[in-house]
């Protein structure tokens, strides 16, 4: 069995309307992958930057997978939320990126989007916040039924991921 | 002695905590420690330490320099739980009490070569304004009982923090027997290539990526 280590962290997010942000993240894999160590989902702390608009989380990710096949390569999906002064949470964006498939250190900027409602919902969102959310988070990293969605672009999340691969070359995999 | 199939690999970390960039604070010192998983053990060097107290120079008004050496070697059977360097910065407040100015953590790089890491630092935020005022007055800010918590991902979802400042650390990494055990860590980094975090400079607060 080949092994994959994902060692890195979610650095932070920038480009969102307000900067008091936190992120719910998870890693989704296909059926041939088995998680040997580490947490495959979590939630960062809420960061309120003192200066600038980039919120920094430095949330560590340390995952150890074993796999029998290349299908279902791990995908990291994210939901960026905003927490206001009163503790209310509002969705600011969904995004996903594939975990890099070559060993070494990678810096990734994951772009995010938010579902857009009707013009009445957008008007209400301007005043009271809220807004439509996905019923099931699977849509963040799958392409099925996306054509039904109308979305707007939001900010981006910075990730630093280090990849260590073991025994992939024994099975003839080049990366 | 045949080293045909080693079961243990070594990671040697030589580096320094170069300094910090805290626009609002001065006269800071830094405590560091290494946090690692169950499969890891340090074989030589110090696991934790405290730097000197430094203040901003007159020429470069935003830079605080420690130039503090780090020299540690770890051994392990498994890259899971790769060591992290946890850094906590402390300094005096208006009344002279020693308060925490930031916590931060970064993974030790695993490709051999030279690396620079810029670690964003954050402090826990008090939950309501009155607590913020009393903690400012009495000098008892919210702190973590064990700074190693910063290296973990669990339990973070209930904390609010304020990020303020950055610490710059540089590493020179040597590994032994990782290739023999079958681990591919990618191309070694070259000293000239800029670090991945160089986009977040210590010179000023970055305004987007």
ipTM: 0.82
Question: Average pLDDT in the A48-67 region?
Answer: 92
**Residue in B106, B183, B206 closest to A166 by CB:** B183
| Domain extent at residue A13 | 2-112+154-171
List, in sequence order, every residue forming a beta bridge with A159; answer none if it has no partner: A10, A108
Distance from CA of A72 to the nearest CA of B (A): 21
Residues 123-162 (B) with a CB less than 8 A from some CB of A: 125, 150-154, 156-157, 159-162
Tens-place pLDDT, residues B133-161: 888 887 778 888 888 888 888 878 778 89
**β-pairing verdict for B40-45 and B9-21:** unpaired
Position with higher pLDDT, B89 vs B204:
B89
Q: What's the whole-model pTM score?
A: 0.85
List, in sequence order, every residue forming a beta bridge with B158; answer none if it has no partner: none
Cβ atoms B66, B22 nearer than 8 A: no
Tell me which of A43, A88, A162, A172 to substitute to probe the interface with B (most B C-beta atoms closer than 10 Å). Answer: A162
A72-76, B28-32, B59-63, B123-127: the lowest-pLDDT one: B59-63
Does residue A146 fall inside a structural domain? Answer: no
Cβ neighbours, 10 Å, residue A151 = 14
| Per-residue pLDDT at B190 exceeds 80 | no
Does residue A74 fall inside a structural domain? Answer: yes
Does residue A39 fall inside a structural domain? Answer: yes
Which chain B positions have a beta carbon within 8 Å of A89's beta carbon?
Answer: none
Position B71 scores a pLDDT of 92
Does residue A85 fall inside a structural domain? Answer: yes
Nearest to A110 by CA among A52, A38, A33, A57: A57
A134-148, B34-48, B68-82: the lowest-pLDDT one: A134-148
Residues 43-72 (B) with a CB less than 8 A from some CB of A: none
φ, ψ of residue B134 in degrees (nearest 5): -65, -35
pLDDT band, very low/low/confident/very high, at A7 (cuts 50, 70, 90) = very high
Specify the DSSP element, H or E, that contains A40: none
| Per-residue pLDDT at B194 exceeds 80 | no
Does residue A75 fall inside a structural domain? Answer: yes
Q: What SS3 state is found at A5? A: strand
- Mean pLDDT (chain B) is 84
Residue given tokens 């110090």 in the structure block: B46
Question: Average pLDDT in the A23-49 region?
Answer: 93
- Residue A160 to residue A45: CA distance in whole angstroms: 17
- Take residue A137 and report the two structure tokens written for it: 């988070």
Half-sphere exposure of B157 (CA within 13 A, CB side): 10
| Per-residue pLDDT at A120 exceeds 60 | yes
Give, as one character, the DSSP assignment of residue A139: G
Position A107 scores a pLDDT of 93
| Per-residue pLDDT at B197 exceeds 80 | no
Does residue A95 fall inside a structural domain? Answer: yes
Quick check: A43 and B157 CB within 8 A?
Answer: yes
Position with higher pLDDT, A145 vs A49:
A49
Nearest to A162 by CA among A78, A68, A72, A60: A60
Position B96 scores a pLDDT of 86
- Mean pLDDT (chain A) is 91
Which chain B positions have a beta carbon within 8 Å of A46's beta carbon?
Answer: 159-161
Q: What SS3 state is found at B6? A: coil
**pLDDT cut 70: percent of chain B above it:** 88
Position B3 scores a pLDDT of 54
CA distances from B39 to A13, A53, A165, B83 (A): 32, 39, 18, 10
**pLDDT cut 90: percent of chain B above it:** 51
CATH number at A63 reads 2.60.40.150
Does residue A6 fall inside a structural domain? Answer: yes
Does residue A166 fall inside a structural domain? Answer: yes
| Per-residue pLDDT at B206 exceeds 80 | no
List, in sequence order, every residue forming a beta bridge with B40; answer none if it has no partner: B76
Say how many domains are in chain A.
1
Question: Average pLDDT in the B190-203 region?
Answer: 41
On whether any CB of chain A is under 8 Å from the CB of B201, the answer is no
Tens-place pLDDT, residues B18-41: 999 998 888 999 999 999 999 999
């Amino acid at each position: 069995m080949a092994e994959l280590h994902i060692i890195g962290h979610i650095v932070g997010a920038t480009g969102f309307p307000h900067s008091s942000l936190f992120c719910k993240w998870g890693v989704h894999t296909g059926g041939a992958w088995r998680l040997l160590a580490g947490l495959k989902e979590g939630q960062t702390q809420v960061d309120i930057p003192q200066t600038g608009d980039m919120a920094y989380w430095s949330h560590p990710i340390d995952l150890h997978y074993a796999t029998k096949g290349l299908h279902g390569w791990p995908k990291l999906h994210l939901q960026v939320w905003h927490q206001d002064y009163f503790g209310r949470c509002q969705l600011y964006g969904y995004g996903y990126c594939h975990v890099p498939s070559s060993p070494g250190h990678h810096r990734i900027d994951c772009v995010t989007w938010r579902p857009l409602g009707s013009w009445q919902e957008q008007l209400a969102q301007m005043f009271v916040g809220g807004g439509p959310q996905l019923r099931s988070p699977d849509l963040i990293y799958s392409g099925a039924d996306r054509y039904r969605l109308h979305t707007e672009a939001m900010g981006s999340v910075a990730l630093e991921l280090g990849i260590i691969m073991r025994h992939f070359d024994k099975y003839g995999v080049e990366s | 002695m045949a080293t045909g199939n080693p079961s243990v690999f070594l990671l040697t970390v030589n580096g320094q905590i170069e300094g910090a960039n805290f626009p609002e604070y001065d006269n800071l010192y830094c405590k560091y420690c290494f946090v690692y998983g169950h499969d890891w053990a340090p074989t030589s060097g110090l696991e934790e330490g405290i730097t000197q107290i430094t203040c901003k120079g007159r020429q470069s008004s935003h830079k605080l320099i420690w130039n503090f050496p780090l020299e540690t070697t770890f051994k392990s059977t498994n890259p899971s739980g790769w060591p992290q360097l946890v850094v906590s910065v402390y300094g005096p407040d208006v009344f002279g009490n020693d308060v925490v100015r930031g916590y931060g953590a970064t993974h030790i790089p695993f490709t051999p070569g030279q690396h620079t890491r810029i670690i964003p630092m954050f402090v826990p935020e008090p939950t309501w304004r009155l607590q913020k005022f009393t903690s400012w007055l009495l000098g008892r800010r919210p702190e973590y009982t064990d700074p190693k918590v910063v290296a973990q991902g669990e339990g973070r979802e209930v904390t609010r923090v304020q990020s303020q400042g950055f610490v710059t650390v540089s590493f020179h990494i040597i590994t032994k027997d990782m290739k023999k055990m079958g681990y591919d860590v990618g191309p070694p980094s070259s000293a000239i290539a800029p670090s991945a975090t160089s986009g977040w400079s210590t010179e000023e607060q970055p305004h987007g990526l």
